[in-house]
Structure 1
Amino acid sequence: MTISTPPTPVLLQMLTTYAQLRRSWYIFLFQHPAIEMILPLNDFAFLDELWAEWSPGFTHTAELHTVNETLRHPENLNAIVAWFRGAVHPETDRPELATEQAALAQVPTQPWLYLHGDQDQCVGVEAATLVGGNSVVIRGAGYFPHLEQQDAFHAQLVNFLQPSQ
């Protein structure tokens, strides 16, 4: 199952459009060495505003508090930044993980479920169409459909996991 961010080939296809590049501006900011200083400013206000942009109308206070507390530890903050940098810089791939890294660069071949919120301002809702297959758009949800529309999210998950009759 994938939530809100499509497989790498689909995301790369989307990044050829101005609309998705505009939504993905933060990825480029995370490449700058100053991001480790920017994120913690004003009690991680940057993340609060970023989450609010991604999921308009969603009150995410409790969830974001947990994220902020986690990121107060430098090793966790560094890990998040390293993930974003590694996604853009394949030369940092580790040879011993070549099989896993190659798998992440493909659309899954086994049955899988892709869930995407129709109000998502981080990744365009067109991702659900591009992914195809078992893609479901959850109404009234932004980037965090598992938090914003829990009942609809769980219903889709149960429906996918139920054996065919």
Structure 2
Amino acid sequence: MDFEEIVIRTDRLDFPALAVGDGPVVVCWHGFPDHPATFGPLAEHLVAAGRRVVAPFLRGHHPVTADQMTYADSITLAADAAAVAEALSPDAGVDMIGHDIGAGVVARLAGAWPERLRRGVTMAVPPPKALPPILLDPAQQQRFFYLWLFQLPNVAETVLESDRRLIDYLWATWSPGLDPGEHRVRVHELYGDPTLLRNALRIYRGNFDMTLHDPELAALAARTEAPATVPLLVLAGADDGCIPPEHFANAQTGLAPGSSVQVVANAGHFMHLDQPGKVAKAVLDWFSAD
């Protein structure tokens, strides 16, 4: 898929993004360790269905925004998504897909800025309210070893800056059998930039470090961490080595009525690369539902 790079100008930040196609916009938010271009195989199907795909770089994940990471909390990223949606469609909500960190972005947008979301899809991560219980599972605590590692200043940086083997390991264990191909090069290049890598680590540290939370957005937590009023489609990979599908069993407790939770067969964490056709069908059916 041949993306063009564009800039989405908002009142919060100018966001570099990859874009392709014509028609109603679908905004796609990536996660870690990832790059917007991995939405390419999914975008092929969406563009063929008459949609325009816009995949922004998360704040701090592009050289243009490298120095714009004062705050790195999840609500900051959701506020970014709301600003992007308003810039692309001032008078109506947009369709949106979020993967990994991007899943939290879309879910929290649905909670605090529902008018900016027409239909939303989250992939590979349960909704915010359903996340805390899974942290009590010792097996999941082990799968999240990287999250704990990333809390250690200098140690995490040293591990990831010395080489990118940990990134390759995460990809291999999260989507077993997937060959990232050209995407591996893009991901390595992105996180090969020490500033962008450290920005990604700040997002993980923002889960626990309140100094990374924007105090002006703090009051929104009552809505972003609660079940949203907007129904969402939540997709889990049957073979996900990061968050396995059994941890989506209670996802409905964090979702609005009318939401749907589906498990994608023969897919891991990077399900949009494992099974782009299946994911596209589920997404397009959801977008077209009444």
Q: Is TM > 0.5 for Structure 1 vs Structure 2?
A: yes
Q: For residue 162 of structure 2, what is the aligned residue in structure 1?
A: 41
Provide the residue aligned with 1:162 in structure 2.
288
Query: TM-score w.r.t. structure 2 length?
Result: 0.53
Distance 2:245 2:123 in 1: 12
CA drift of 1:102 comes to 4.2
- The match for 1:152 is 278
Tell me, yes or no, if structure 1 residue 16 matches structure 2 residue 126. Answer: no
Contact 1:121 1:143 in 2 (8 A): yes
**Unaligned runs of at least 5 residues, structure 1:** none
Confirm or deny that 1:88 pairs with 2:208: yes
- Which deviates more from structure 2 when the two are superposed, residues 108-117 or residues 57-66? 57-66
Question: Given the alignment of the two structures, is residue 119 of structure 1 paired with residue 119 of structure 2, yes or no?
Answer: no
Aligned mate of 2:230, from 110, 113, 121: 110
- 2:151 is the alignment partner of 1:31: yes
- CA drift of 1:103 comes to 3.7
Counterparts of 2:289 and 2:244, CA distance in 1: 31
Of Structure 1 and Structure 2, the greater helix share is in: 1
AA at the equivalent of 2:180:
H
- Report how far residue 90 of structure 1 moved: 3.7
Residue 134 (str. 1) matches residue 260 (str. 2): yes
**SS state of the match for residue 135, structure 1?**
strand
Task: For residue 105 of structure 1, report the CA deviation from its aligned partner.
Answer: 1.8
- Structure 2 residue runs of 5 or longer lacking an equivalent are 1-120, 253-258
CA offset digits 1:61-96 (Å, max 9, x no partner): 322221111112222111100000001334531111
Structure of greater relative contact order (alpha carbons < 8 Å, 6+ residues apart): 1
Take 1:120 and 1:83, find their aligned partners in 2: how far apart are those partners? Answer: 22
SS of the aligned residue for 1:39 comes to: helix
Q: Are the counterparts in 2 of residues 118 and 139 from structure 1 also a CA contact under 8 Å?
A: yes
**Equivalent position SS for 1:87:** coil
Paired residues in the alignment total 163
Matched residues in 1 for 2:148 and 2:265: separation?
29
Say if 1:7 and 1:104, in contact at 8 Å, map to a contact too. Answer: no
